[in-house]
Every structure is written in structure tokens, then in C-alpha cells.
Structure 1
Amino acid sequence: MQPSHPVTRDLVLIGGGHSHALVLRKWGMAPLPGVRVTLISPQPTAPYTGMLPGHVAGHYSRQALDIDLMRLARFAGARVVLQPAIGLDRDARRVIVPERAPIAYDALSINVGISATLPTLAGFSDYAVPAKPLGQFADRWAQFVADVESGKMLPKIAIIGAGVAGAELALSMHHRLRAHKPQITILEAQDALKSTGARARAAIKKHLDRAGIVIQEGAQVQQITADSVLTSTGAVHSNFTVGAAGATPQDWIAQTDLPLTDGFINVGPHLNSPADPTIFAGGDCAHMLHAPREKAGVFAVRQAPYLYDNLRATLSGGRLRSYKPQADYLKLISLGTKQAVVDWHGLAPTGALAWRWKDHIDTTFMRKFDDLPPMNTPAQPPKLAAQGVAELIAAQPMCGGCGAKVGAATLRNQISALPAPHRSDVAEGAGDDAALLHHGTGFQTFTTDHFRAFIDDPWLLTRIAALHALGDVWAMGGQPQAALSQIILPRMAETVQADTLREIMDAATMTLREAGADLVGGHTSLGAEMTVGFSITGLVDHPIRLSGAQAGDALILTKPLGTGTILAADMQAQAPGHAVAAALASMSHSSAQAAAILAPVAHAMTDVTGFGLAGHLFGILDLCNLSADISDIPLLRGAQELAAAGHRSSLFPQNTMRIAEVTGPAGPIKDLLFDPQTSGGMLAAVPADRASDILRALQDAGYPARQIGTLSNGPSQIRLQ
């Protein structure tokens, strides 16, 4: 999404906790023009605390538990960096992120939550799982349930910590595994449920007793092993040990030189640091100096509107608001079954009505992130030129990446009209993956590629663009040599421009050097939107041409399909975050090793890009008078579902001009053969007797490669099985 106003300030949000999720939603409703927003989060989703007990009990799916940060960020016009923050450079005002350039900020907010780890407890890191972070816990719990239900594991569980969280988890686990008669023990060094009122405590203990859940008070945990917890009162057998006691801040926060209390970031009534008013914090990772409170999600939710207003005020010169948390708050505590207990001013009504109340509050909160307003479509002027202007305006927005290419037929017609090369050192002009020039006893490859932005992260966009351009060199069996960049930046303040170029140059240099090439120059200009591209040379002794395929060859594809469909859905904020994350991971995965494995044996090879698998396969079939039988096509997570729902890249209609030459059942898989790929995988025709060894080598190198078909004599045709 290109900004509608020149960017002059950078707002960075570290973490996808409840406060930041609500800030992003409000920002999408009312953004501050001129501000670029960046969300730094290691995961594309964030679990909601309130629904975790219900999920553990089996009442909610994992999907219902998660806030989709990628979709939310798209709605807010924010870029997402799927990495953890590991430090701050406060002097330079930059966030340190592993394996990429630091990210600049003018205002910063931290909402990274806490962990329930017990780092000094022997055996905890090896044999226990903390209840927080919630996503990690939910994954481990799902695996344990599967192991119990399959008979691989006995349902013996120990929970360290008899607070509300420990009791809720114990009751929820018992309900989920009730058919297997679980043995659950809660271990507490002090008094159980001491943060609850007397009546609520009695009600919870009553349900724990009914479930046969044992609470051992005064039990000092000394060590955790693979099948037990050793305490001061004896050993407790456990195949699944959970840490639900204490709150541990993330380690990197201690290295920031910000004032802390017990490792948590000190903030005042404006929710910013007393040492740096441009740095804010919310949720569990913050310690409110003016009103200390226990760690509870209710405070993160209620901090959000103040955090939103104060971040805007910091970036625009406005007045900050003071947040004063309530002294007490309503607790709705799950009892495993669809019952709950209300803890409020000494009262403790219990039962199904309390559960329905809790369920209503939780599901209403989550609907805030599901029911986002649709993306606006441009209004049509009252008077239009003839010949399809109205249709072009009404069409879906033009995609970025390879989805923004000119169609194959249009391009082929123009290339065919080019005169033959008149220089003797040009061995191959336009038509193959890269041009070939005679160079000593071998050849030099030469290629160029660029595309308009499809994500707002200039670092990741640049890496993908570089890998995409390098693919043409690798496809011909070449070794990349040198590169020139072509960069267009939208209008922005000089400081923002410098920071953006710093990220672009960092990504380009790193990616090209990984490939054995150097960035030796380029051209940078300002324009309507961000565009990144590269012209690359390479050296090759024996070029792999498209015309080399033979009947009987096996077809190998090194990456799954679906980037065009996923990116098109993402432009409309309709793609699930896990699907977008999978697509970005695939696009940013270098094909260098894949090409090195395939090149010595491939009869023909190409990189699958804008014309889709079918278009690039036809490029081989047409030159060799061959046909192909294909099946078992690898797809990116979410691609088939999005294609079935009708999501298409804007290049898709032009790619399907030869769909009549592809036989097989209609449906999303067939459609995805024509999906334009950005930084797609290598498609190689290899001798059939070498295919299994090549596949094994590719998979050992980390590629999800598959043999997708075979070639045979006959006119150009693709038969999808």
C-alpha cells in the first residue's frame, strides 16, 4: 500500500499484544498523514489471552484464538517485520532486528508481553512449557493432546503456580482429556488462589476437588525431569509440566538502558518512559510507576486508546492524555466446562450464565479484528473517455511483484519483432531467461528485472527483488557476477529517505554477496510509488537453454505455487496472516543452492515467475515439441482456499490465454498453474533416472521440492492429472 501523503515520521510498534492490536485498528480508522507505521513481531498472529482456557478445553479452535496481525497491519497501512526485536540504539533511534538493517523510529511503543518461564529452575527449559507466550503453549498443548489420544502418552500433568491462570488451565485440561482420566497436580509454594476473593476462591476449589485435581500448597519445586517434578514434599509424576507462576520480561529489554522495575519498563501516566518521552510501553511488559498493578490483559486493553492518542500527539505536536487504571476489575474465571465464576467485590456468582457472559465479552473483542471495514474503491469521474476507461477503473487494483508484468502474449509479439543481434559477441538475445554474450571460452549472462512494491517493507522487498532477478542467471547455470540497482522512492522527508535507502542497500548488498555477486552501482529517483529492480551479469561455461528438454525427462519444481493469489488477496486485506507469512518466506528463500544442485544434470531449466508454472512450462514445450503430464503440484499454505474463493492476480486473465491447451479438472489447482509467481522456484527437466537422487539433495538443502511430472513427445500440451 503506497502512502497517500509524503512520509516524514516513523512510528514503530514492537510486539503484537492486545494494546498494539487495538492501536492498529484505530490507526486504520483514522491514520495520521505523513507517518509510516512499522509493526515488529516474530509471528503473523497473536493469541488472545482471554480465550486460552476455552481453547485448551476444546471450546474454541486455534484460529478463533488468534488475532491476525498481518491482515490488521494491512488495514492500518503498516508494514510488518516478521522478526523479534533484540535491542535498541537509543542514540540513533533505531530498533535492532536480527539479520537485517536496524529500523529507525521517531516514536516507539513496546507491547511484547511476558513469559512464564522459570529460568533458574533446573530442567525447566528442557522439560517444561511456559503458559506464556500463549502461541508456543497452544502448539505444545495440541501435540500433547494428540499424543494422549493416540496412546503415546499418559495424561499426567503438573502445573507450577496455583493462581487464577494455573487453576483455569488445570480445569480446562481436565475437561479436554476427561475421557482419558487425567491426573493433574497444581504445585504452589505459598497459598493457592490468593489474588481472588474468598467466595470465588471457594467456588474454584470446589470445582478442582470435583475434577480430582490436587493442589499441593507449600511445595517448593526443585527440579524438573522428563517424567516428573521434584519438590520439597516429594516427586510428582508428569508427562506435561506447565509453568504458570511468575512473570518474566524479555531479556533484551534489560539491555536498553531504559529505567526498569524487576525487568519491566517503567512508564508514567502518559505511558511513556521517564527517561525518553518518545518511547512508550503497554500491557504486561510495562510497569506503571504512578499506579502499579498486577499483570492482567484488562489493563492492556484499556491502555490502548490512551496509547493511540499519545503516539499521535508525540508525532504531531499535540497534548498527551493521562491514563489512570481502575483500582479493581471484574474477573470472569473459566471452570473448564462451559461454566465460569465471577469475582467482583466479594461476590462470586457461578454457572453457565457467567460463562455465556465471558464468551460474549471475548468473542465481541475478537470480532473487532475480524469485522474490518472493506478497502475503498476509487470513485469514477462523471465524464470518461471511450474504450474501456470505466472497466479499467472498476477492475481490481493492479498487483505488485510479478503480478504487475505485461502479459505474455503482448510481450511475445513485441519481442518477435526485434531485429536479430548484429554483434557477433551476442550469442542469445531476448527470448530465454537471460541474454548470452560470448566471454573468452565461455559466456556472460545479462538480465534485468524490477517490480512495483507489494509490501511496505523496503528491506524485504529488496531482498525478494534481488533473488527474483538472480533467478534468471541461476536458471541458465550461471554464477552471478555484478549488479546495478534501479530504485524509485515515493516522496518522503530526507531523513526518512536516507533510512529507507539504508535498508534497501543493506538488503541488496547482503543478498547479492550471498550469491557471490557485488552491487556496483545503479540509479535512484523519486516517483509515485516504490519500485525496486536489478540488472545482473553472470558467468557460465555451459548455458542451460530452454530448448534442451528431452522426452522422458522428469519435471522438478523447487518451490510451491500461490504467491500471486495470496498477494492479490492481501491487497484486499483478505489473506490470512499465516498465508502471507508463508508466501514471504518462500519468496525470500534463495534458489542458489537449488540451481547448483540442478545445473549439472538439467537438460532445461527456468525460474517460475510472472507467467506462472503453465506459461514457463509452455516456454520449454514449444521449443522442444514436447507435452507434459503433471500432478502433485505443491501449493503454499492458504493458496488453494484463496483461489477457490475467487482471488486472482491482475495478471491472471492474460496468463490464461492458453488455458485450452491445459487439460484436466477445472478448479483452484488448475487455476494456480497460471498464477504469477514472484521469486518462484526453479523448474527443471532432468533425466528420469536421476530424479530421486536430485529430489533428495534438494530436500536435504531445505527446499520443498517435488517431481511434478514427466515429458513426452507430442505437440505442446499440459495434461493435469
Structure 2
Amino acid sequence: MLNTVPYTRDLVLVGGGHAHALVLRAWGMDRLAGARVTVINPGSTAPYTGMLPGHVAGHYGRDDLEIDLVRLCRHAGARLILDKAVGIDRDRREVLLEGREPVAYDVASIDVGITAEMDLPGFAAHGIGAKPLDKYAARWRGFLARAVAGEVAPDVAVIGGGVAGCELAMAMAYALREAGVAPHVTVIEAGPQISGMGAAARRKILAAMAELGIELRLEARVMEVTADCVVLADQPAVPAALCVGAAGAFPHDWIAQTDLPQRDGFIEVGPDLRVSGDAALFAVGDCAVMPHAPRPKAGVFAVRAAPVLHHNLRAALSGGRRKTWQPQKYYLKLISLGSKSAMAENFGVSVKAPLLWRWKDRIDRKFMDRLGDLPAMARPAVTGEMATGVRDMLAAKPLCGGCGAKVGRGVLSGAVKGIAAAQGDVVTGAGDDAAVLRQPGGGFQVISADHLRALVEDPAQMARIAAVHALGDIWAMGAQPQVALAQIVLPQMSASLQERSLAEVTRAAEAVMQAAGAQLVGGHTTMGAELTIGFTVTGTRAQMPLTVSGAQEGDVLILTRPIGSGVILAADMAGQADGRDMAAALAVMGQPQHREALVLAEVANAMTDVTGFGLAGHVQAICAASGMDAVLWRDAVPVYAGARGLSDAGVSSSLMPSNRADAPVLGGDDPLLFDPQTAGGLLAAVPEGQVEAVLAQLAAQGCEGHKIGQLSRGSGNLTLR
């Protein structure tokens, strides 16, 4: 986004663990000038360890325990890459990823937690580790729903009788019982007693487990996990429709395969949290081990280490002095007991009481509030004498990214009226999705240009979305994409960061163009105030390309993508969007539509792509050019998850008022009809008799198609029903 200080150094945070989440919050409050921050995490959210048992028991909803990394990264000015790290190349200073090219760093930190996946026969197929927490929580929610519906037996086996295993066993037993299902939960422990606590605490835990009817198998050696039981040596098998592994903390396999200094697969770090022998790399949380101060795997240490990590990352980027951290030897354990009751243990003393649950609840909610209640970034105040109208524009909402930054349809129409009419080899010029030219050897070529002001910080993701967006004009004409020229504006940055950024943009753009059957042949680059990416694209078609003017009476309108991306992007700018909704919308926006275009181009009488002028504006473009009226069926129009709620709450794009004024709708009002779309869906007018066959073809290609309205002879009116 807008950058007033040149970027010179790349900081990469691998993983969305508790320490990194707190670093991001602190970074947003005081950003280090010149440092570009990247976060790499498989998902858009990260679960908070402390609230997981309460979530499993039903005391917290999913939103209560998930840290929204999208919002945190927006607050910190960081880009978020939704991918899994699979390695580190320390010589090249690159993080290797599962689904895209490596990401370079000058300084990096690793906070990826641990796994509880167990190396047991059948566990990979039938079991689930208690960590990573998000995978376990999702599996538990599905199992609980099926158990309540009577689809599976409420038989649960927990392998591991430590604090984590017992706590989760009690949470699951309580949730099943509260749901009206008689639970059968068994804890399987290899030792002679449950572990990780003193004698007094053990007695209290055993009593709480007995109250919930939990069975305990001691000195039990697991031989195999099957679809319906856990097979033990010398003991009867344990029924298990759900098997949870909680027997210890295991490092991620990919870390063991690196050249990082390790102890039993955990990354070795010093008192300043640096990886031993590496001045550019840090590690924190459960994935790291401190030989000078070994401690159990507990979230409290990651939380306490966060301020020191934040300081030392800044020092490593700026040449400052680092601090050291000495984790406390003793720490308070607050253990949930299934119901809203908890036990506390510290210094060998344990206490059990409902009051402790309320105390734990306050601690946990306070932590999550720190990561959820992020201060809004104030716009710089402009003072002094101003020209007339400046204050009004400054008081308006900030300019959106993507297509929300476009000039309105009415303003643009007035500007293109003065352009000369098509002549010579130019069949059609301004006014449609692309210009149409006759080719000397026969057939037609289409040409268009489009660019986007950055809507996310990630150059590769922006390049992908911008390429899909530009190709939309070619697909809308029913043409086969041919070549593309890139126009790239980078924020001011050092030469090394320019090289990294341009490499990411080029690779991402090439991937989209190649998937569409086109070739990236060059372009132009410059530096400016913010990231902007665009493409000039051409395509070919043997017969006359589709335009907006060929629609026929009775045609049904088919739309291939949801609307509402502009609302979500506007909410994201204001820190109001749910990270999961934002991530889901971006994923759709980055998917090419060549398969949809091939299906629709064979039958459509008219076609366009829905972009900055909103669905209403693009429907009216077809109506005006074809001499038609249109009826849109409100409930049939697909909407991105989260967009309706945001729109109802008054969130809108900065281009919304212009779109509404330029495309009036009769019979009702829906703000989302005027929402500017970035890389939006194809909108095709299809003969009524061929609609079902077209929808079937789209589905067979794994594509979406939605009947959203119908055309009739008229004078360009649009009605909502």
C-alpha cells in the first residue's frame, strides 16, 4: 500500500504462533521504517491454545479462540502468505514453501509450534493429533455433530495421560454429555499413572475424570489404531470412533530435514532467541529449545518471550543491541475440568474451584482482546490553507484498492465520447470490454489494458489477481488469450528488494498466463508511491468476438462468481473484515476463468465481465447496447461469505455512490448490486433453451454458474425482484 519510506530489509515470520501474533500487534503500533514484513502461515487464523479445551467443551465458539492473522497483518502493514513452510535455505536466505516459489529474507523468525501426530500403525489414517490445534478442533466439531446425529458411536480414545490429554478428555466427555449423548471416553497412558502434575493435583484430576465417567487405561502399549478401536498389547481393545493423540510434543518433520541446529528435532536457540550460530534467524515457542534453560512445552513461554523477540528482530534489522530472555522456572497451570470449573497448580500446590474457571476465562479473553481490539490507523491530518473542495474529499472514505479505485462509469463514458469511431482494421473501439481488430489473414484480434491499485501487500498475489482481472476482458469477448505486457509500479525500495519483488510478480503472472494459454512477453516497470500492477492483453477469435450488444429477448443471465468483493476489501482496509472471508474471496479472485469462458463463448449471445461498475452497471451495459430490459432475481445472485453482513452494517466501497448513480435499479434496493468487483465473474446472456446444458457443462468443469435474471425487449431498464 502507500509507502513513504523506502524498503531496504525483509523480515519474514514463519508461522502464526502466539509470539508472532504479539510481535505483529506491537509492530503495528510502532513500525520499523524501511522493514517489509511477511507472515507465512497455512491458514488465515491461528487457534489460541488456552481456550481450546473450553471450545471443545462448548464454552467458546470457533471465533472466540481463533486469532485473525489477516487483520493482524493489516494492522502491522505486513503481507500474509497462506502457505506451509517446508524448508529453510540458509545460504540463500530463503524460506521454502509447499505451494509457491521461495520467499527471501534478511531476518526471519520461526514460530510453527509442534505436532502430536503419532508414529503408530493406522494413526495417520484413523487418528488425529491434538496439535496442530486447528486441525484437531475442526475434526472434533465434525465428530460431535455426527455423534449427536447418531451417525457414529460416541466412543473417544485419547492416547496420552498428561495434562493435555486429560484436559481434552474431560472437555470432550462434558460436551457429549451436554449434547444429550452418553459418552464413552478412555484415556490411554503408557506409564503407571497420569503425568505432568504433582500428587495432590493428580488426585483432583482423577476425581474430575471419574465424575465424567472417563475410563483410564494405565501401563497400556498401543499396537494399532483402526477405524473403530485402539488395539493394545495384553489389554482389551479400546472402542474409538475418534482417536486423539496427546502423548507428547513432536517436532515438524520438515524442520528435522533442514541444517538448523537441533535437539531431538527442536530448533536450538540462545538466550536472545537467535538460532545458534545464525545471526539472521530466530525461533520461539514450542518448536524451539533453549539448552541453557530447558522448559516444558507450554504457551506461557511463547507469550512471555514475545517482547524480547520483538525487540531483537528490530535490532537485527537495524543494527541495534539485543536483549536476553530467561524463562521463569515455575509457572501457574490452569487446567479446565470439562464444566466451567478449573484447577490451579503452582509450586506443588493445587486448588480446584469454579472461581478459578472465571479467573482463567478472564485471562484468556484479555489475551484475545489484545489481538482483536486493534487501534484504527489514523489518517494524517492536513492543515493550512486549502483549495475549495479539498476538505470534503478528505472527509470522504479512503480510496479503495482494486477496482474500487476506478473512475465512475458516468465520468468515463463522457471521456470516451470524444474518441474517434472505429475505422480501417478497427472493428470496434472504446465502449466494450476490448477493442476488436481484423487480422490480415482472417479472423479477429481483441486488445485491452487494465491495472489495479494494490489491495493486498503481497506482490505475487496482486500479480495473480491483476492478471486474472485483465484477462477477464479477453474471456468476455469469447477470445483465446494470446500475449500480455506487464506494467508494474513498485514502492520505492532497495535494489535487492526490487529484484525479489519483480521475480515474484513475474513468476505469478507467468503462471496465470500459461494456464490461460497466453504468453507474458515483456512490459514496463517504474517506482512510485504504492504497488500497482497491470497488463495489456490480446486475444484471437476466428469469428466476430462477443460484445455486449448481441443479447436476445428471453436470454437468461448467467454469472460465474459471487459479488461483494468490494465490500470485503473496504472492510479489510478499515480492519472490520473477518480474515477467513477475506482470504476466501482473494482465493477466488486469483483463479483464472478460462474454463468458464470456453463453455460460455460457445452459446452466449452477449458477454462481459463484472468489474468496477458493479453487477448493476454491467447488466445495464448489456441492456443499453442490446435494446433490452432485465429482471434480476435478488435471492439468486451469489454473494461472497461475509459480504452481506458487512453491507447491512453500512460498509461500502468508495466507488459505490458513483455506481449507484450511474445504474438506477427499479423495484427494490440492494447495495451489493453496485459493489465494484475485482477479478469478478463472467456475465453471459444465454438462450433460455440452452441454460441447463450450460450449467451442467460448467459443473462438469468444476466451475460455478448461477442463473441470476432474464432479459426482455425494452429500453435498458433494470428491475430487482
Q: In which range does the TM-score fall when normalised by the shorter chain?
A: over 0.9
Q: How do residues 53-64 of structure 1 correspond to structure 2 at under 5 angstroms?
A: 53-64=53-64
Q: Distance in 2 between matches of 1:98 and 1:688?
A: 44
Residue by residue over 1:183-219, the C-alpha shift from the partner in whole angstroms, topping out at 9 and shown as x without a partner, is: 1100011144321111111101001111110110111
CA contact (8 A) 2:154 2:184 kept: yes
Residue 365 of structure 2 corresponds to 363
Deviation of residue 377 (structure 1)? 2.0
CA contact (8 A) 1:15 1:41 kept: yes
Residue 557 of structure 1 corresponds to 559
CA contact (8 A) 1:482 1:537 kept: yes
Residue 662 of structure 1 corresponds to 666
Residue 176 of structure 1 corresponds to 175
Deviation of residue 408 (structure 1)? 0.1
Q: Distance in 2 between matches of 1:696 and 1:14?
A: 42
Which amino acid letter does the alignment assign opposite residue 126 of structure 2? Y
Q: Would you say 1:35 and 2:39 are equivalent positions?
A: no
Residue 648 of structure 1 corresponds to 652
Which amino acid letter does the alignment assign opposite residue 374 of structure 1? A
Q: Distance in 2 between matches of 1:142 and 1:192?
A: 29
Residue 195 of structure 1 corresponds to 196
CA contact (8 A) 2:459 2:505 kept: yes
Which amino acid letter does the alignment assign opposite residue 484 of structure 1? L
Residue by residue over 1:489-534, the C-alpha shift from the partner in whole angstroms, topping out at 9 and shown as x without a partner, is: 1111111111111111111222111111111111111111111100
Q: Distance in 2 between matches of 1:245 and 1:565?
A: 45
CA contact (8 A) 1:269 1:322 kept: yes
1:222 match: secondary structure: strand
Residue by residue over 1:517-565, the C-alpha shift from the partner in whole angstroms, topping out at 9 and shown as x without a partner, is: 1111111111111111000111111211111111111211111111111
Residue by residue over 1:83-136, the C-alpha shift from the partner in whole angstroms, topping out at 9 and shown as x without a partner, is: 111222211111122343321100000101111101x21111111111111111
Residue by residue over 1:276-327, the C-alpha shift from the partner in whole angstroms, topping out at 9 and shown as x without a partner, is: 1211111111111211111110111111111101100000101111111111
2:391 match: secondary structure: helix
Residue 284 of structure 2 corresponds to 282
1:231 match: secondary structure: strand
Q: Distance in 1 between matches of 2:380 and 2:326?
A: 42
Residue by residue over 1:128-159, the C-alpha shift from the partner in whole angstroms, topping out at 9 and shown as x without a partner, is: 11111111111111111111111212211111
Q: How do residues 429-468 of structure 1 correspond to structure 2 at under 5 angstroms?
A: 429-439=429-439, 440-468=441-469
Q: How do residues 487-526 of structure 1 correspond to structure 2 at under 5 angstroms?
A: 487-526=488-527
Residue 637 of structure 1 corresponds to 641
CA contact (8 A) 2:617 2:663 kept: no
Residue by residue over 1:640-694, the C-alpha shift from the partner in whole angstroms, topping out at 9 and shown as x without a partner, is: 1111111111111110014533322x3xxx1111110110111111122221222
CA contact (8 A) 2:404 2:653 kept: yes
CA contact (8 A) 2:620 2:663 kept: no
Deviation of residue 715 (structure 1)? 2.7
CA contact (8 A) 1:548 1:603 kept: yes
Q: Distance in 2 between matches of 1:81 and 1:648?
A: 26
Which amino acid letter does the alignment assign opposite residue 162 of structure 2? G
CA contact (8 A) 1:332 1:358 kept: yes
Residue 695 of structure 2 corresponds to 695
2:138 match: secondary structure: helix
Q: How do residues 373-392 of structure 1 correspond to structure 2 at under 5 angstroms?
A: 373-386=375-388, 388-392=389-393
Q: Distance in 2 between matches of 1:352 and 1:208?
A: 16
Q: Distance in 2 between matches of 1:276 and 1:85?
A: 19
Q: Distance in 1 between matches of 2:718 and 2:249?
A: 58
Q: Would you say 1:334 and 2:336 are equivalent positions?
A: yes
Q: Distance in 2 between matches of 1:701 and 1:290?
A: 57
Q: Distance in 2 between matches of 1:719 and 1:531?
A: 36
2:465 match: secondary structure: helix
CA contact (8 A) 1:12 1:38 kept: yes
CA contact (8 A) 1:375 1:573 kept: no
2:664 match: secondary structure: helix
Q: Distance in 2 between matches of 1:717 and 1:420?
A: 26
Q: How do residues 295-334 of structure 1 correspond to structure 2 at under 5 angstroms?
A: 295-334=297-336
Residue 218 of structure 1 corresponds to 219
CA contact (8 A) 1:16 1:41 kept: yes
Q: Distance in 2 between matches of 1:150 and 1:553?
A: 44
Q: Would you say 1:595 and 2:597 are equivalent positions?
A: yes
1:115 match: secondary structure: coil
Deviation of residue 421 (structure 1)? 2.8
Q: Distance in 1 between matches of 2:64 and 2:4?
A: 33
Which amino acid letter does the alignment assign opposite residue 275 of structure 1? G
1:546 match: secondary structure: coil
Deviates more, 1:48-57 or 1:129-138: 129-138
1:159 match: secondary structure: strand
Residue by residue over 1:552-608, the C-alpha shift from the partner in whole angstroms, topping out at 9 and shown as x without a partner, is: 112111111111111111111111101110111111011111101111111111111
Residue 292 of structure 1 corresponds to 294
Which of these residues, 259, 262, 265, is aligned with residue 261 of structure 2?
A: 259
2:141 match: secondary structure: helix
Q: Distance in 2 between matches of 1:366 and 1:164?
A: 23
Which amino acid letter does the alignment assign opposite residue 567 of structure 1? L
1:64 match: secondary structure: helix
Q: Distance in 2 between matches of 1:474 and 1:31?
A: 42
Residue 77 of structure 1 corresponds to 77
Q: Distance in 2 between matches of 1:446 and 1:78?
A: 35
Which amino acid letter does the alignment assign opposite residue 205 of structure 1? L
Q: Distance in 2 between matches of 1:157 and 1:30?
A: 47
1:277 match: secondary structure: coil
Deviation of residue 437 (structure 1)? 0.5
2:349 match: secondary structure: coil
Residue by residue over 1:340-385, the C-alpha shift from the partner in whole angstroms, topping out at 9 and shown as x without a partner, is: 0011112111111111111111011000011111121231313211
Which amino acid letter does the alignment assign opposite residue 400 of structure 2? C
Which amino acid letter does the alignment assign opposite residue 640 of structure 1? R
Residue 152 of structure 1 corresponds to 151
CA contact (8 A) 2:615 2:673 kept: yes
Percent identity at matched positions? 52
Residue 65 of structure 2 corresponds to 65
CA contact (8 A) 2:4 2:529 kept: no
Deviates more, 1:269-278 or 1:181-190: 269-278
Deviation of residue 4 (structure 1)? 2.9
Residue 232 of structure 2 corresponds to 231
Q: Distance in 1 between matches of 2:228 and 2:320?
A: 57
CA contact (8 A) 1:100 1:459 kept: no
Which amino acid letter does the alignment assign opposite residue 335 of structure 1? L
Residue 247 of structure 1 corresponds to 249
Deviation of residue 713 (structure 1)? 2.1
Deviation of residue 711 (structure 1)? 1.6
Which amino acid letter does the alignment assign opposite residue 175 of structure 2? R
Q: Distance in 1 between matches of 2:130 and 2:604?
A: 50
2:167 match: secondary structure: helix
Deviation of residue 174 (structure 1)? 1.3
List gaps (5 residues or longer) in structure 2: none
Q: Distance in 2 between matches of 1:704 and 1:598?
A: 12
2:279 match: secondary structure: strand
Which amino acid letter does the alignment assign opposite residue 554 of structure 2? G
Q: Distance in 2 between matches of 1:474 and 1:373?
A: 42
Which amino acid letter does the alignment assign opposite residue 260 of structure 2? L
Deviation of residue 248 (structure 1)? 2.0
Q: Distance in 1 between matches of 2:173 and 2:151?
A: 18
Which amino acid letter does the alignment assign opposite residue 315 of structure 1? L
